[in-house]
Structure 1
Amino acid sequence: MMELHKKSYEPLKWTVALLGLMILLGGCESGYGRQPAPAPLPEVSTVTIKPQPVELTTELPGRTSAYLVAEIRPQVNGIIKQRLFKEGSDVQAGQVLYQIDPAPFQVALDSSRASLSKAQANLPSIRLKAERHKELLVDKAVSRQDYDDAVAAEDQARAEVAYWQAQVTGARINLGYTRVTAPISGRIGKSSVTDGALVTAYQPTSLATIQQLDPIYVDVTQSSAELLRLKRHLETGRLSADGANGRKVHILLEDGTAYPLEGLLQFRDITVDQATGSFILRIVVPNSKHLLLPGMFVRAVVQEGIAEQALLVPQQGVSRNPKGEPIALIVDEAGKVQQRLLTLDRAIGDKWLISSGLKAGERLIVEGMMNVRPSATVIAVPWKNAQAGQAASPANRPLAESR
């Protein structure tokens, strides 16, 4: 009976073994015991750094001032008889602005002329008398004293004629001063006097002011330290002077818009202000439409020089470490990520000008750098936006764009 019982369990044992084998095979097919597949390499977008010539400029604050300024003052005393200009209008050099009452000056001129005529009428008889005394002196018909008195009288008569000639000239000049004229062409402001006002010669208060606005001056300030830095860069070759366009200046208005006409750098002052450590640069700007008025605040974009081998990189490819230092990630020849510590010069449009930290030919990561770390192996592809236009200002831009 034991043998019969043992035989009845034999098929069950083989069934259990077969089921276990099937479970084991099913587990292998579902992944148990198999090595996981390696993760794909991260992909980053890079741009190859290439040197290029860049025109470097700096923005300096300043104010406008009139090219010529003339304060109108009377040169004789009198009553203003008439004002002959419209306030705020353009006047020409020599144009009559005020008429001072000429009557007393006309009387003085007529009186001087009459006295001159009288002196001139007396001169011939006195001269003839002196000549006769000279002839009589030879025959000793007159004394030497009489002859000397006749010569002195002639000299006195000539001097009197010269005196009254000068008086006539002075009276004529004073009469001309009653017509107050414009010494320069320009725009005249408001008048400080009206008809009937009493004015005195060379009074401290001006009658009006004329300002020539075309062209106009723009006076900007630059620090002496900045000037020394520029000279040092020119001497070391980091910058080269642009002789053809180095004196051209762009003007930005106080609302940020660009002035349509270029100015010309006239000179740099030779004295540094001890209080501010800066000096004045004077720029001459065309102003035919009188858009610029004296006293306006503007910014002048002055050229520093040409950086022949400038390295420009997109700003999105530069980040900062916890210390605030600018850093960048590059892909080396082996396809590994390397970190670089940068020195930035300035922003030019949407790019940074690099002073140190990168070299020409290196591949800078501009997209995907958040997914990689230094020493990681990556797949580098060209940046699709590498040729996209940039919003470069007239201040600093690649040389090809500024010409």
Structure 2
Amino acid sequence: MKTRSVIAKIVTLAILAALAGCKPASNDKATASAGADRPEVGVVTLYPQAVAITAELPGRVVASLTAEVRPQISGIIQRRLFIEGNEVAEGAPLYQIDSAPYQAAYNSASAALQKADASVPSAQAKVERYQGLVKQNAISKQELDDAVATLAQARADVATAKANVETARINLDYTTIKAPIGGRTDKSSLTPGALVTAGQTSVLTTIRTLDPIFVDVTQSSTNLLNLRQSIDAGRVNIAGSNVAVKLKLENGTIYPLTGKLEFSEANVSTSTGTFTVRAVFPNPQRLLLPGMYARAIVEEGVAPNSFLVPQRAVTRNTKGEATAMFLDRNGNVEERVLSIGRSVGNNWLVGSGIANGDRVIVEGIQFVRVGQQAKGVEVVIDETTGEIRERRAAIPPDHATKG
């Protein structure tokens, strides 16, 4: 009996020891379960910064000067004096029209001028002689008047002849068609041997000045009003009169040279609600050609002490308000209504609702709700794509900062 009692006591002690050893394990499981209830979210810490206010506007490349070359006289084209598609200087000869008839007309006009000049001295001498004879009553006053009229007619004939000579000279010069501006030529529409006429509608060739070159872009009148109001309120410092402009080409590359704003139209289109802004760019390599599509990035001003919130973090509530989820210093999730302005790259420029050091949730929003505890993992957003580029270690709630 004693043996059975001892065995019973030993079994009881073993059971109590086993139960005592299982209790800490149960606590560990509870702790692990509590940690699993705190989802992990990606956050970006926000700090105030000076934000360049830019507008990316669609536009077309336009030649700074364009001239359509047409003949100013009629005749047969003898030679083409330029290479199609090459650059020509202002005043360079382009076409040679048969000059023989115009040379003959010039020679005839010059001869007529000589003839008219020859009649003036005789008429002048007659007037001087008649003036002396009238004083002696040797001739009548009428004869003197006739001599004076003859002299005036001779002088008028000289003036007419000079005008005819000048006209003939101009027409003779027009037999060489010259470039009215410097620039690059298009193809020639006519070949030597073709007949051209003065004032014809068909163009011989077109010359376009490519350096400098213009880019005409369209700007919304709404954006203009918003910018003016931000400047008046002091939220944006205007860039000044020399507004820099960058250019994004059709293939997505940035044009290496910076342009400047030339002018803005003084009226808004009633059909589109836009107005035209013209920028001028240097184009020494002739990379920009008229007709190209491009996007001009206009630096309108700077917004000091502003916050940029990644667009992926911002949603709309049922009222249409812009909202975002934030993680406070204790690791609690909260929702805020933001006053967003324009987009800057893949971010929103926010006017209110953010303080220095706030952490906005950019990843895992669907796994949390307001008031819930969460673990924040600092992430880095790629400014080009708006995607997460890098993840860092989780930030404990007591290490989170708030300005």
How high is the TM-score relative to the length of structure 1?
0.84
1:26-65 equivalences under 5 Å are 26-31=17-22, 36=27, 39=31, 42=38, 47-65=44-62
Distance 1:107 1:375 in 2: 101
Specify which of 317, 337, 340 is matched with residue 341 of structure 1. Answer: 337
Aligned length: 378
CA distance in 2, matches of 1:375, 1:278: 46
Please give the alpha-carbon distance, in whole angstroms, between the structure 2 residues aligned to 1:217 and 1:352.
31
What are the residue-to-residue correspondences of 1:149-188 with 2, within 5 Å? 149-188=146-185
RMSD over aligned Cα atoms: 3.0
Please identify, of 35-44 and 76-85, the stretch whose mean Cα deviation from structure 2 is larger.
Answer: 35-44
Q: For residues 245-298 of structure 1, give each alpha carbon's deviation from its aligned partner in whole angstroms, at most 9, with x where no partner exists.
A: x51100011111111111111000112111111110011111111111111111
1:294 counterpart residue number? 290
2:275 pairs with one of 271, 274, 279 = 279
TM-aligned CA distance change 1:389 to 1:182, over 3 Å = same
Query: Aligned residue for 1:114?
Result: 111
Comparing 366-375 and 134-143, the one that deviates more: 366-375
Among candidates 243, 257, 264, match of residue 261 of structure 1: 257
1:105 is aligned, of 102, 106, 110, to: 102
Structure 1 residues 8-57: Cα deviation after superposition (integer angstroms, max 9, x where no partner): xx548735752663355135324369973563665777554211001021
Distance (Å, rounded) in 2 between the aligned partners of 1:292 and 1:312: 34
- How big is the shift at 1:303? 1.6
CA distance in 2, matches of 1:289, 1:259: 11
State the Cα distance separating 1:111 from its structure 2 match. Answer: 1.0
Q: Which runs of 5+ in 2 are unaligned?
A: 387-403
1:98-130 CA-partner distances (Å, limit 9, x unpaired): 111111111111111111111111111111111
* Contact in 1 for aligned 2:59/2:294 (Cα 8 Å): yes
Given residue 154 of structure 2, which amino acid in structure 1 is its aligned partner?
A: A
8 Å contact kept, 2:43–2:363: yes
Equivalent position amino acid for 2:263 in 1: F
1:80 and 2:68 correspond: no
What are the Cα deviations for residues 79-103 of structure 1, in whole angstroms up to 9, with x where unaligned? 1111111111111111111111111
Q: Which moved more, 1:340-349 or 1:235-244?
A: 340-349
Q: Is the 8 A contact 1:65 1:293 kept in 2?
A: yes
Whether contact under 8 Å (1:328, 1:341) holds in the other structure is no
Q: What does the per-residue CA deviation read over 1:308-359, in whole Å, with 9 as the maximum and x for residues that have no partner? A: 011124566x264785954222213x55433323344455456443333322
Q: Which of 235, 238, 241 matches 1:241?
A: 238
After superposing the two structures, state which structure 1 stretch, 100-109 or 346-355, moved more. 346-355
1:355 aligns with 2:351: yes
Residue 238 of structure 2 aligns to a residue whose secondary structure is coil
Counterparts of 1:331 and 1:250 in 2: how far apart (Å)?
A: 40
Corresponding residue to 1:205 among 181, 202, 205: 202
CA contact (8 A) 1:249 1:264 kept: yes
Which of the two has higher C-alpha Rg? 1
CA distance in 1, matches of 2:3, 2:283: 111
